[in-house]
């Protein structure tokens, strides 16, 4: 197995080129047409793969069969960017104003492409590997879109696997955890409608900013007063949009929520309380309100058997000291959770060392882990399809 790591480290320059190209040209969730074309073209250049595009709009599945084995493994990477202005000054920084790869999805895709090339060259397995390149992870749209487009009916797999880089965890180490690993997320938008007017004549207005501010503060009591301290949940209001001038009372305000929970009971309670607080707080200020609910969230649950199998393969490839098992869980969310509802499998973290956390304007993907992640995918495929 160590040969895999050494060989991929020797060929890391190509993975860096793929990564830097995608980093320069980010595209938002479900708008990744150029990125999808780049990935598909690169895969076809390796030879041997059956490459299918347009799955769930921009998704790709590349399949390679070797020998007569009947087992099928699925490996998934994401490739959408975020609506954040990058504040790094790298030569390969984003060239698109207000959009950047600040979660490492460009790195995830580069790693799976590196593994794809290696698997096509060596073909040291017996069965079928399916490489799943998924759009729209950040908005929780891409996974469901591919599934609804017949992902697992058209491209059957026995098990499916995912991976994410995590700053703050030790560089190059893998973290596996059976069971609940990441939270369910519900992304909601709330519109508060009042009556606009002159800032100096407030008695003729109904101020949605005041109503929205009250809602923001009231929402903070939900987790602290209603979720058991032994459980985990968080409600973040990441955007409060209203007005453009200091002397004008806006006619409406928009609040955007990220609601994360780890049990179905807490999730239903939190969502119900948000609906109640929004409606009654808005009404108490004379405003009306409207909630636009996103795709229902799901807790990411790793299959115990597949997690153990993947961890053991990683230990054999990298050494026991490079694998933390069981590892931590996070309140971040992943729409890979929807794939794990359909097929057994597991999701792991790959430590990227010190640095800003994902979604920070100064986050950067540690390119040193590119060959490490690619080696894991190769080792997992060869171990699973032995």
Helix (H) or strand (E) holding 195: none
User: For residues 23 and 106, is the Cβ–Cβ distance under 8 A?
Assistant: yes
Helix (H) or strand (E) holding 362: none
Which of helix, strand or coil describes residue 143? helix
Ordered DSSP codes for 236-292: EEEEEE--S-TTEE-SEEEEEEEEEESSHHHHHHHHHHHHHHHHHHHHHTT-EEEEE
Compute and round to an integer the Cα radius of gyration of the chain.
Answer: 23
User: What are the DSSP E strand ranges found in the chain?
Assistant: 50-55, 59-66, 72-78, 127-134, 159-166, 174-175, 179-182, 184-193, 197-198, 233-241, 248-249, 252-261, 288-293, 300-302, 323-324, 345-351
Which of helix, strand or coil describes residue 125? coil
CA atoms of 118 and 126, how far apart (whole Å): 15
| 253, 185, 222, 82: CA torsion to nearest 10 | -40
Tell me which of 80, 106, 207, 335 is the catalytic residue.
80
- Examine the residue annotation and report whether 171 is marked as an active-site residue of this protein: no
- In this structure, the number of other CB atoms found within 10 A of the CB of residue 224 comes to 9
Q: How many CA atoms does the CB half-sphere of 73 hold within 13 Å? A: 24
- Examine the residue annotation and report whether 137 is marked as an active-site residue of this protein: yes
- In this structure, the number of other CB atoms found within 10 A of the CB of residue 186 comes to 22
DSSP-derived pairing of the beta strands 159-166 and 345-351: parallel
CA atoms of 23 and 96, how far apart (whole Å): 10
Tell me which of 137, 138, 191, 334 is the catalytic residue.
137
Between 12-24 and 370-384, two packed helices, what is the crossing angle to 10 degrees? 110
Q: What residues are annotated to the active site?
A: 80, 137
């Amino acid at each position: 197995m160590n040969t895999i790591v050494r060989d991929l480290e020797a060929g890391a320059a190509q993975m860096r080129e793929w990564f830097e190209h995608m980093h320069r040209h980010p595209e938002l969730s479900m708008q990744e047409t150029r990125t999808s074309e780049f990935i598909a073209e690169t895969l076809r250049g390796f030879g041997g793969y059956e490459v299918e595009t347009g799955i769930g709009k921009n998704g790709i599945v590349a399949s390679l069969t070797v020998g007569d084995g009947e087992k099928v493994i699925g490996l998934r990477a994401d490739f959408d960017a975020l609506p954040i202005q990058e504040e790094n000054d790298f030569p390969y920084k984003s060239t698109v104003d207000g959009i950047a790869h600040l979660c490492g999805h460009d790195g995830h895709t580069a790693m799976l492409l590196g593994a794809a090339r290696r698997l096509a060259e060596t073909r040291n397995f017996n069965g079928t590997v399916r490489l799943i390149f998924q759009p729209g992870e950040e908005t929780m749209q891409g996974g469901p879109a591919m599934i609804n487009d017949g992902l697992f009916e058209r491209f059957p797999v026995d098990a499916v696997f995912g991976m994410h880089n995590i700053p703050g965890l030790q560089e190059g180490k893998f973290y596996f955890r059976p069971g609940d690993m990441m939270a369910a997320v519900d992304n909601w938008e709330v519109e508060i409608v009042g009556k606009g007017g002159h800032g100096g004549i407030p008695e003729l207005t109904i101020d949605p900013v005041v109503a929205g501010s009250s809602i923001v503060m009231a929402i903070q009591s939900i987790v602290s007063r209603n979720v058991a301290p032994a459980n985990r949940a968080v409600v973040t209001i990441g955007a409060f949009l209203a007005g453009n001038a200091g002397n004008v009372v806006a006619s409406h305000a928009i609040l955007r929520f990220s609601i994360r929970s780890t049990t179905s009971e807490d999730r239903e309670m939190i969502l119900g309380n948000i609906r109640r607080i929004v409606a009654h707080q808005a009404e108490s200020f004379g405003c009306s309100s409207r909630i636009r609910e996103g795709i229902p969230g799901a807790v990411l649950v790793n299959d115990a058997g597949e997690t153990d199998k993947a961890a053991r393969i990683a230990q054999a490839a990298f050494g026991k000291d490079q694998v933390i098992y069981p590892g931590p869980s996070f309140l971040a969310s992943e729409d890979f959770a929807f794939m794990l509802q359909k097929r057994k499998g597991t999701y792991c973290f790959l430590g990227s060392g010190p640095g800003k956390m994902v979604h920070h304007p100064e986050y950067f993907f540690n390119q040193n882990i590119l060959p490490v992640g690619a080696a894991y995918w190769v080792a997992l495929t060869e171990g699973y399809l032995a």
